Structure 1
Amino acid sequence: MIDFRSDTVTKPTAEMKAAMMAAELGDDVFQDCPTTNALQHWAASQLGFEAALFASSGTQTNLLAMMSHCQRGDEVILGQDWHTYRWEGGGAAVLGSIQPQPLPVQADGSLLLEDIAAAIKPDDPHFARSRLVVVENTIAGKVLSPEYMASVAKLARQHQLACHIDGARLMNAATKLAAEREQDVWQMARQLCQGYDTLSLCLSKGLGAPVGSLLLGSAAVIQRARRLRKMLGGGMRQTGLLAAAGHYALQHQVARLTDDHKHCQQLAAGIQQLTERYACWQGKLRLQPVQTNILFCDMAPALAAALLPYLKQQGVLLSGSNYSHAGTQWHRLRWVCHLDISASDIARTLELLETFSKQQES
């Protein structure tokens, strides 16, 4: 099976499993799990924060951050396409009574600074109280630069707002930027976080751990988040088995993210070549630029309806959904490369796409 649906589908490597089985265990609710404590301390130190908290998912760490920064009736400013707004079940509003103020996301994945500034409410009882700005990096595989990240943090400070990073794939962003600027990847990750109050870092996406996410911030914020985690039912006991996997992922599986980026570029280049060689694709397929490990391509719905069952039958899985733009219907396919997608898997997928192309034109 070649599974492009998400980088959450990865399985632990043999080395990660060995680290999990060797983990020293304790009760994390009592804060006496040495393996979980070691992960939290190490990650906070590496990324320039005072403290960290292990939780079950990125959705939970984002919610903990928003509820730690905001009270009932407060407002969070975020992107219309952010995971925190669109894909987390409305948890901040439902569970935290926090009002979201979504803003349009630009083509490069950013929010305009002037849009953020204009959305900040005056101190007036007619309005929800603006308290928090959220930035997502990467967003749909797009990387936001450290200069842009710093400008948002500066704007938030000027208006006495807290700022949070949904960094589910922060290490993908750091990997790309570090390569471009010839810097160490952890140095770049710290630079991206500089000036931010909190960070949500997923361990189970490109990093390959089976479960888990970290919330990083000041000791005071993490203390509040720990209480909220318990309230939300997120207190877990012998978490060392999972924390060991996350610690292994951070220490050993960051450097290999470059492979995922390279494979995604190879996949995009191969599909582009097919569109130039076969008439069945012309005018019916549009590729989005690739920056990290995610490729989006828009396809005519009828063509997608034929392609997806064919690929599934051949053992290739990917996700997609229909949408309309300028009166034209498209089906957007999402290809995500990860540690369980090899160079040979990319080659095999391109072979299948070529076979499909020939069948369409026969």
Structure 2
Amino acid sequence: MIIDLRSDTVTQPCEKMRQAMSMAKVGDDVYEDDPTVNLLQEKAATLSGKEAALFMPTGTQSNLVAILAHCQRGDSFIVGEHAHIYQYEAGGSAVLGGTLPKPIIENEDGTLPLEKVLASIKPKDIHFAPTTLLCLENTFNGKVIDLGYQETVCQTVRKKHGLKVHLDGARLFNASIATNTELKKLTAPYDSVSLCLSKGLGAPVGSVLCGNTDFISRAKAWRKMLGGGMRQSGVLAAAGLFCLEHNINRLKEDHDRASTLAECLINLGWQVKDNQAQTNMIFINDSEQTLIKLNETMKSNKILLSYGGAGNSLRIVLHKDITDEGLNTVINAFNTYQRN
């Protein structure tokens, strides 16, 4: 049996989720008459405290649609240099939307320095691509972004410069559970929020984009243009709905197991970033040579870790398919691992 710690995207649907999918009532979602999709969107809108929501095939499409719905061609938006939107979404906002990202290096805690954000906003001048949007991310590399910071930066750029603010909340439910904060409080500062269903929540596919009704109306047109107008997608939405109804609170189990593993690694002499796992992620820092050896050795023991073969950081992600038994197997593997 393989223990896959590369990401929380690798989870398998449980039997009850499969049953919910097989029994889903469906219609044609392009005509907006798929009852299961509509129910999922209503549930997501309620949880996020927004007026409406839109079911998307992927988080990448959800973030892209949000940017396109907020920005015109030739506009620029501010984003973290290591944010998923900038690093891992294939440059879609530039290629398909004609928008110009302005990356800013994050602080250690994942926040964007407010003074750098403000300095990056272009003045109203025909020489510049107008800055119309700020994109933030929570959680960021497993870290929960301080809510007070979010409220301050959102209020500042909105009131002083008229910017919209989008949140890539792919793992926002993890932030909610880790801080015991209602989701709608975490989403309140934002004009739009993307929530992923296929990471810690365990759905096989899908994200929901949340915002006001006018925004979602524009987003729906962009989703169709980008090929995301699915038909009897209630079969997929049923899995997302199951997650929202059953899998949110259980995220604490992932956090607890990650914390247990992080403590074990520290005791074994590994350098764990921040000396903790705040949510479900652990980052080990070491030399490239050491991490290559660790990754290959664990793989030979049927334990998969997330390391690309370069750099000095390796990621470990806990998720719903990692049981206490699986965790003990991983801990035993580290206990017997020879570093030299």
What interval of TM-score do these two structures reach, taking the shorter chain for normalisation? over 0.9
Q: Which amino acid aligns with 2:299?
A: K
What residue number does 2:87 align with? 86
**Distance across 2 between alignment mates of 1:113 and 1:192:** 19
**Distance across 2 between alignment mates of 1:311 and 1:133:** 40
**Distance across 1 between alignment mates of 2:201 and 2:174:** 9
Which of 297, 301, 318 matches 1:337?
A: 318
Deviations 1:29-66 (A, max 9, x none): 11110000010011101211011000100000000000
Which of 250, 271, 274 matches 1:286?
A: 271
* 2:292–2:309 CA contact under 8 A, matched in 1: no
Q: How far has the Cα of 1:138 moved from its partner?
A: 0.3
Normalising to structure 1: TM-score of the pair? 0.91
* 2:295–2:307 CA contact under 8 A, matched in 1: no
Deviations 1:212-263 (A, max 9, x none): 0000011111111111111111111110011010011011100000000011
Q: Which amino acid aligns with 2:110?
A: G
| Gap change, CA 1:155 and 1:322, over 3 Å in 2 | farther
* 1:137–1:167 CA contact under 8 A, matched in 2: yes
What residue number does 2:249 align with? 255
What residue number does 2:265 align with? 271
Give the % identical residues. 45
Q: Which amino acid aligns with 1:250?
A: L
Deviations 1:55-85 (A, max 9, x none): 1000000000000000100011111111011
Q: How far has the Cα of 1:342 moved from its partner?
A: 1.4
Which of 159, 162, 165 matches 2:164?
A: 162
Q: How far has the Cα of 1:322 moved from its partner?
A: 5.2
Does 2:75 align with 1:74? yes
**Distance across 2 between alignment mates of 1:143 and 1:347:** 26
Q: Which amino acid aligns with 1:266?
A: T
**Distance across 2 between alignment mates of 1:322 and 1:250:** 36
* 1:141–1:291 CA contact under 8 A, matched in 2: yes
Which of 160, 172, 179 matches 2:174?
A: 172
**Distance across 1 between alignment mates of 2:190 and 2:250:** 26
Where 2:66 maps in the other structure, the secondary structure is: helix
Q: Which amino acid aligns with 1:98?
A: T
What residue number does 2:299 align with? 312
**Distance across 1 between alignment mates of 2:128 and 2:121:** 10
**What is the CA RMSD across the aligned residues, in angstroms?**
1.2
**Distance across 2 between alignment mates of 1:51 and 1:14:** 30
**Distance across 2 between alignment mates of 1:300 and 1:195:** 40
Q: How far has the Cα of 1:355 moved from its partner?
A: 1.4
What residue number does 1:214 align with? 208
What residue number does 1:29 align with? 30
Where 1:319 maps in the other structure, the secondary structure is: coil
Alignment of 1:135-214 (within 5 A): 135-158=136-159, 159-178=161-180, 185=181, 187=182, 189-214=183-208
Q: Which amino acid aligns with 1:211?
A: V
Runs of 4+ residues deviating >6 angstroms = none
Q: How far has the Cα of 1:354 moved from its partner?
A: 1.6
What residue number does 2:236 align with? 242
Q: How far has the Cα of 1:139 moved from its partner?
A: 0.5
What residue number does 2:290 align with? 303
**Distance across 1 between alignment mates of 2:105 and 2:74:** 22
Q: Which amino acid aligns with 1:162?
A: K
Where 2:186 maps in the other structure, the secondary structure is: helix
Where 1:141 maps in the other structure, the secondary structure is: coil
Q: Which amino acid aligns with 1:318?
A: L
**Distance across 2 between alignment mates of 1:76 and 1:229:** 20
**Distance across 2 between alignment mates of 1:156 and 1:32:** 38
Structure 1: 5+ residue stretches without partners: 179-184, 276-284, 324-329
* 2:48–2:184 CA contact under 8 A, matched in 1: yes
**Distance across 2 between alignment mates of 1:304 and 1:177:** 31
- Matched residue pairs, number? 336
Where 2:96 maps in the other structure, the secondary structure is: helix
**Distance across 1 between alignment mates of 2:141 and 2:189:** 23
**Distance across 1 between alignment mates of 2:156 and 2:166:** 13
Where 1:9 maps in the other structure, the secondary structure is: coil
**Distance across 2 between alignment mates of 1:107 and 1:305:** 25
